[in-house]
Amino acid sequence: MPLQPFPAPGLVIVGGGPAGLMAAEVARAAGVEVDLFDAKGSVGRKFLIAGKGGLNLTHGEPRPGFDARYRERTREVAGWLDDFDGDALRDWARGLGVETYVGSSGRVFPIDRKAAPLLRGWVRRLRESGVRFHVHHRWTGWDDDGALRFDTPDGERRVRAGATVLALGGGSWPELGSDGAWAPWLSARGVDVAPLQPSNCGFDIGWSAHFSQRHAGAPLKPVVAHWRDADGEHALQGECVVTATGIEGSLVYALSPMLREAIARDGEATLVLDLAPGRTLERLQAELAKPRAGRSVSDHLRRQTGIEGVKAALLYELLGKDGVHDTDALARTIKRAPLVLRAPRPIAEAISSAGGVRLEALDDALMMRALPGVFCAGEMLDWEAPTGGYLLTACHASGVRAGRGAVAWLARHRDAHAASQHHPTGT
């Protein structure tokens, strides 16, 4: 198809998730012509899925503690949050008629906990403001003349842009469009892209068939995870879930960067769980040392310590049928059950991904140094965060930053063009 004559200088946004939609809102509010393209038949699909069990929009943790959740990218993401933080996100939602509340965990939800009303109101407002949406347009890179290429049901379409914001997601949720296909295209144009890896993911352990078949899906709660790093010993209470191949859940997700890195470095990682946070080792030893009076080990364990079900089965899995008869070893394993993690689950199963366009390849406005006029936002950037609202907040904030950067870029080039017309060279 021929190049599309969009009003110039216009902004093309590729990707209709929160980062792309926020960039569109910022740019349109500045008076820029905006065309947004998405590979799917509607925008915000991952946003809707994320809100299926209750949309966790942001977190009530105050800064700078909030900023620290982004680990080695704290400084950079904090800069985005200076523009648009969790409080700003709640105010923004209120502007769309959606009130929010802070739950007992500190997570922030819409009052009705639903994503659909917020997304519908947002898209409606963007359309009314003049943003033009183009769905079923899958971006496939650039042609030799620098035009954006899209596969559509009607064949290839090529589009020129005054500036571009790429908000294509990471490598998780490929069925919703975040498949990481963009990575080699950017690398080929000199953009430094870190390999995409699973984040907020489960891990493989390699259970016995008996344990896996009987207990996959069972929650382990409450438990306390213990781990050691360069800063010493750490502990975190939470819950996790046994899977057919290993373990997943909020506690595991929170530790996934550290566990993933340990596996990459050492070939495996050991996660130590305290299965009885309310009891000391000495108390467990005393309780288990009491006569069993003919009862089975499982019944004695339940009566004396309250441990049963999947926790009891896990002890058998770790110690074996003979090992559980050693009451001292049993007590010690209850307090420090070692789970040897072999590999993270595939990225397609992960809640989010790590890696992507390295922030060092971008300027402060999130423009790629190797591709002037092309900006990046959202999860395709090289940062990661735990669940709990931190992911969505940074995606929105990066969209604001990239949208503002694109507006400034277009203004500079419009002014430069006007100046060259007023003062032609060679006179």
Handedness of CA 389, 395, 399, 401 (dihedral sign): positive
- The span from the first CA to the last CA of the chain, in angstroms, equals 40
3-state DSSP assignment of residue 397: helix
**What pLDDT sits at residue 237?**
95
- Cα(256)–Cα(246) distance, integer angstroms: 13
Alpha helix (H) residue ranges in 232-279: 250-266
DSSP string, 3-54: EE---SS-EEEE--SHHHHHHHHHHHHTT--EEEE-SSSSS-HHHHHHTTT-
Instruction: State the pLDDT at residue 417.
Output: 53
pLDDT digits (tens, 9 = 90+) for 253-298: 999 999 999 999 999 999 999 999 999 999 999 999 999 888 999 9
Q: Which residues sit opposite 146 in a β-bridge? A: none
User: Cα dist. 155→4, 150, 151, 222 in Å?
Assistant: 14, 8, 6, 54
d(CA 384, CA 394): 9
Given a cut of 70, is residue 10 above it in pLDDT? yes
Query: Does pLDDT of 312 surpass 60?
Result: yes
User: Mean pLDDT, the chain, as a whole number?
Assistant: 93
Q: What's the CA gap between 247 and 225, in Å, rounded?
A: 13
Q: pLDDT tens for residues 142-162?
A: 999 999 999 999 999 999 999
pLDDT of residue 421: 52
What is d(CA 250, CA 270) in angstroms, rounded to the nearest whole number?
17
- Sheet strands (E) in 315-359: 337-341, 343-344, 352-357
Q: How far apart are CA 302 and CA 314, in angstroms?
A: 14
Instruction: Express each pLDDT in 18-71 by its tens digit.
Output: 999 999 999 999 999 999 999 999 999 989 988 888 999 999 999 999 999 999
- Give the number of other Cβ atoms within 10 Å of residue 113's Cβ: 16
Q: Positive or negative CA dihedral for 137, 374, 387, 121?
A: negative
Residue among 81, 345, 65 nearest 199 (CA): 345
pLDDT given at position 171: 94
What structural domains does the chain harbor?
3-199+352-422 (3.50.50.60), 203-344 (no CATH)
Q: Token pair for residue 148? A: 């954006």
What pLDDT does residue 425 have? 39
Q: Are 391 and 399 in contact (CB under 8 A)?
A: no
420 and 89 in contact (C-beta within 8 Å)? no
Q: Is 427 exposed, middle or buried (0-12, 13-18, 19+ CB in 10 A)?
A: exposed
427 has a pLDDT exceeding 80: no
In Å, the largest CA–CA distance within the chain is 107
Q: What pLDDT is attached to residue 233?
A: 86
Task: Give me the residues paired with residue 158 across strands.
Answer: 3, 149
Instruction: Report the DSSP pairing between strands 148-152 and 138-142.
Output: antiparallel
pLDDT at 416: 65
As given in the structure block, the two tokens for residue 365 are 């406005």
pLDDT number for residue 232: 84
Give CA–CA dist 304/239, Å, rounded.
22
Q: What is the pLDDT of residues 174-203, one digit of tens each?
A: 888 899 999 999 999 999 999 999 999 999
Q: Give CA angle at 156 (152, 160), nearest 5°.
A: 105
Prior bond of 338 cis (ω within 30°) = no
The type of residue at 261 is E
pLDDT for 176 equals: 86
**pLDDT higher for 173 or 246?**
246
